[in-house]
Every structure is written in structure tokens, then in C-alpha cells.
């Protein structure tokens, strides 16, 4: 991982399932040239892994704190992590 690359995992809580959040996150991440994934949790939250340019990751974190228009984000938590070396941003089940 270069000094200009960062990786974070995140948990997004609120009304975040059934509102196309994962697909919109994928589009946004690809626009920012980020890799990682988004997946729903069994308890109604959404988990993400976001990897890329530090500034782009920060922009993605800001977007995730708001989400698509149908979402109601109540809380977000991000933690730095290692870059797993993914080549794309995936929507996972």
C-alpha cells in the first residue's frame, strides 16, 4: 500500500437496506476509482470496505454518511484496515 492509499472498513446503520444503497455505493466508488465491497448485514445494517486514494476515500465516507435519497443513515463507524488487494468494488450478498 502506498502512502497515498488508505483502506477502511465501515458500518452504516439506519434505513440502509431496500433502498439501493449497495448498488449506489458501487457506482460512487467506481466513479472515485476505489475498490472494495458493500454488503448487507443480518441485523439491517450495511458493511463496506473502501480502498484507494486517501482523498477519494474521504469523499466516499462523506457520501456513505448520507447515502442515496431513500436511505436514512443514523450512524456510521469507520476503522482503518489493511488493503486486501481487490481489483473492483463489489456488491456482496
Catalytic (active-site) positions? 22, 40
49 backbone dihedrals φ, ψ, rounded to 5°? -125, 125
**What phi, psi does 12 have (nearest 5°)?**
-110, 125
How would you classify residue 24: left for phi > 0, otherwise alpha for psi between -120 and 50, otherwise beta? alpha
Sheet holding 5-15, edge to edge: 72-80, 5-15, 46-53, 35-40, 89-92
Amino acid at each position: 500500500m502506498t502512502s497515498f492509499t488508505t483502506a477502511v472498513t465501515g458500518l452504516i446503520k439506519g434505513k440502509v437496506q431496500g433502498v439501493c444503497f449497495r448498488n449506489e455505493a458501487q457506482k460512487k466508488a467506481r466513479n472515485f476509482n476505489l475498490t472494495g465491497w458493500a454488503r448487507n448485514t443480518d441485523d439491517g445494517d450495511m458493511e463496506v470496505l473502501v480502498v484507494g486514494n486517501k482523498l477519494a476515500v474521504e469523499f466516499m465516507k462523506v457520501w456513505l454518511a448520507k447515502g442515496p435519497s431513500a436511505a436514512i443513515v443514523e450512524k456510521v463507524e469507520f476503522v482503518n484496515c489493511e488493503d486486501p488487494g481487490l481489483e473492483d468494488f463489489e456488491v456482496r450478498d
